[in-house]
Homo-oligomer: A and B are copies of this chain.
Amino acid sequence: LDEVTFDPALIAIDWGTTSARAYGIDAVGRVMASRSAELGVQRVAEGRFPQALDALLGDWRKFPVPRIACGMIGSRQGWIEVPYVPCPADLDAFGNALVRTPGGELLVVPGALCRDADGVPDVMRGEETQLVGAMVADDERVLAVLPGTHSKWAVVDEGRLLGFATFMTGELYAVLLDHSILGRMANRRYLASGGALADAVEASAPPVETSRGDAAFRAGLHRGWGMHALAHDIFGARTLALANELDAVCVPEWLSGVLIGHEIAGARRWVEAWGVSANRVRVIGAEALAGRYERALACAGVVTDRAANDAAATGLWRIAQRAGVVHTCEPARGPS
């Protein structure tokens, strides 16, 4: 990036629970630069959000341009609580509901709220903006997944967010491995039936060869999308290891498969009500986890496409545009 010519039209911030990333966006909507800091909402002391913003922006503070943010920064634990927008919600609904922080430092995008068939609410903050940014011109009704600690599945119809469902897949995986007997199976050497395995289960946890890990992941997927009771299915990590039918080092891969398989099966059932095919899914997210979901969906015979990177930045740009916050130029098409 040539610092001399960097002249953003908008500063867009994806401000989550653990970290924040700021994007400098030019007048035609292109991300020119980004910077991030471990200054997520959870890590900022009460009332210190202006200071956190300064630290994140650094010398970008000098640009006299609009700033817009999405994510947990708009939650009760964030800088300012922005009420959820109910689904269905389109770009106007988000653009019309921006809330300014008390000192005028930032515009904050609301999260979205929907209710499932039982009337139980579901919520997102940040993913609504990624969904806005992940849509392309000729999309009709799109089923999308945003893998993560709390994975979100969403249906978006010509830019309108119709509904979504959260699955605590990533958090379940973490708490089961870190705090349950399944994690102890994966970590302890007593399982080793022979020297080879015992050597492999060192505390330093050398990587499992890809093929063995992949087989365990696939076996877990098949277990998971049978959609028996999850509390039963996951116990297989223990029993298969006890029976020497699953290497202890492969327990994490197997468990990941069960949980993601369960999520995919649950999401496919959930989507039946929405009149959209569950056989095509747009995957929104960062490399490793998104790739894992793509592998899982391919196993299930689902066709996937991957949203462009920086969907949050694109979504923030689109919302700011619709809200009339930024002045836009015609994109430069070719050498000028």
A258-276 with Cβ < 8 A to chain B: 259, 262-263, 265-267, 269-270
Q: Is the CB of A120 within 8 A of B231?
A: no
Cβ–Cβ contact B168 & A228, under 8 A: no
Question: Is there contact, CB below 8 Å, between B223 and A120?
Answer: yes
- Which bucket holds chain A's interface residue count? 35 or more
The reply to whether B178 and A239 contact each other, CB–CB distance below 8 Å, is no
Q: Measured between alpha carbons, how far is A222 from B226 in the docked complex, in Å?
A: 22
A136-180, CB < 8 A from B: 150, 165-169, 171-172, 175-176, 178-180
Judged by DSSP, the binding face of A is helix
Per-residue CB contact flags for chain A residues 217-240 toward chain B (1 = under 8 Å, else 0) read 000001100111111101110111
Most buried by B among A120, A121, A181: A120
Shortest Cβ distance from residue A153 to the other chain B in the assembled complex, whole angstroms: 9
Chain copies in complex: 2
Q: Apart from A120-B239, A175-B176, A229-B262, what are 16 other A-B pairs with CB-CB below 8 Å?
A: A118-B223, A121-B239, A121-B242, A121-B243, A122-B235, A122-B239, A123-B238, A123-B239, A166-B239, A178-B179, A229-B230, A229-B263, A229-B267, A229-B269, A230-B230, A232-B270
Contact (Cβ within 8 A) A171 B175: no
**Residues of A with Cβ closer than 8 Å to B?**
76-77, 113, 118, 120-123, 150, 165-169, 171-172, 175-176, 178-181, 190, 222-223, 226-232, 234-236, 238-240, 242-243, 245, 259, 262-263, 265-267, 269-270
- In the complex, residue of chain B having the shortest beta-carbon distance to the beta carbon of A75: B242
A168 and B235: CB pair below 8 A?
yes
Q: Which residues of B contact A168 (CB under 8 A)?
A: 180, 231-232, 234-235
Known: A168-B180, A175-B179, A235-B150. A228 touches B270 (CB 8 A): yes
Q: Which 3 A-B pairs have the closest CB atoms?
A: A229-B266, A230-B230, A167-B231
CB within 8 Å for A121 and B76 given contacts A232-B266, A266-B228:
no
Contacts of A76 in B (CB 8 A): 190, 242
CB of A259 within 8 A of CB of B231, answer yes
Within 8 Å CB of A179, what residues of B?
A: 175, 178-179
Taking a contact as CB atoms closer than 8 A, the residue among B121, B236, B270 that contacts A240 in the complex is B121
| Known pairs A179-B179, A180-B168; A77 contacts B190 (CB<8 A) | yes
